[in-house]
Amino acid sequence: MPLSPASEPSELASAVQRARAGVHFAARSGPSMSRGSSSLPKLYWFHGYKCRSPNDVAEIVEVMRDGPVVPSFATKARQNEAHLGLSPSVYCYLGRAHETFGEVVFAFSANPDGGMLSPFDTGSLNKYAPPVSDWQDPEKKTYLAAYSWSIAELADQLLKYPGTAVGEIERYLNVALKPLHTGPHGAWPGRQVANIWERSSDWRSWTWEGRWPEKLSFGVSLEAWTCSPAQQGLLLDWATQHASDEDRAWFGDALPKFIEGGFGELAETMRVRQESA
Partner 1 sequence: MTQIIGMEGTWPDRVAVAWGAAAVRSGDTVRNSFSGHTIAFDELANGRPTDIEAYVPLPKPVRVQPVHAPKDLVVVAIRRKHTNSYLFRTRKRTQPGEIGRVRDTNTDFYVFDSRGSFRDYARAIIRRIVVHVLGASEQLGQGVLVGDVEHLKLIREGLVLDARNPYLHALRVALTPATQEAAEGIARALMQSDPQRLRTFKHILKIFRGERVLYTVKYEDGIASGGGFDPDSAAKIFEALQRVLRNLRKARAQRGSTVADSPPRVLLAAGSAKLTFEVQLQAGPAQEPMRDPIVDRIGRYLEIRDLQRALLGDMPPALTGNASFREALDDLVNPRQATKVFHQPLDESEYVSVLVDPFVADGNLFSRPFSVFGVPQGFNHRHSPRVDITMSSYIREVVRIDDNGQGETPLGLHAFEQHDFMNRPFVFQFRRQMNQRKARYKYWLLSIQRLEQGKIYSIDSVPSSVVPGGFVMGPTHTLTVSEDEVHIDGAAVGPYGTNLGGWTRFFDNYMHWCRAAEIAALDDLSEWLVPPKVTPMTRVAELLLALESLGGDAEYETVVALVGKTHSARSLYRLHETGDLIAVHERDGDLWWSLTDAGERFLKVYHRATATTSSVAVTE
- Under rule CB under 8 A, which residues in 132-191 are in contact with partner 1? 175-176
Q: Which is nearer to partner 1, 157 or 231 (CB)?
A: 231
Q: Is 220 in the site for partner 1 (CB under 8 A)?
A: no
Contact call for residue 96 and partner 1 (CB under 8 A): yes
Cis peptide before 31 (omega within 30 of 0): no
Closer of 3 and 110 to partner 1 (Cβ): 3
Candidates 37-45, 152-160, 181-189, 239-247; binding stretch for partner 1 (CB under 8 A): 239-247
User: Least separation, in Å, of the C-beta of 45 and partner 1?
Assistant: 17
Q: What is the CA radius of gyration of the chain?
A: 20
Residue from the set 59, 99, 198, 247 that interacts with partner 1 by CB under 8 A: 99
Q: Say whether the peptide bond before residue 131 is cis (omega within 30 degrees of 0).
A: yes
Rounded least distance, CB 276 to partner 1, Å: 5
109 near partner 1, judged by CB under 8 A: no
Chosen residue from 101, 136, 189, 190 binding partner 1 by CB under 8 A: 101
Question: If binding means CB under 8 A, how many residues of this protein chain bind partner 1?
Answer: 75
**Nearer Cβ to partner 1 (194/243):** 243
264 binds partner 1 (CB under 8 A): yes
Part in contact with partner 1 (CB under 8 A); list of ranges 15-23, 109-117, 130-138, 163-171: 15-23
Q: How many CB atoms lie within 10 A of CB 272?
A: 15
d(CA 277, CA 272): 9
255 counts as binding partner 1 under rule CB under 8 A: yes
| Residues in 28-57 at the binding interface with partner 1, rule: CB under 8 A | 29-33, 48, 50-51, 53-55, 57
93: Cβ contacts below 8 Å, ≥ 6 apart? 45, 46, 47, 121, 204, 207, 208, 209, 210
At its nearest, how many Å lie between partner 1 and the CB of residue 132? 18
- Tell me which of 81, 103, 209, 223 binds partner 1, using CB under 8 A: 103
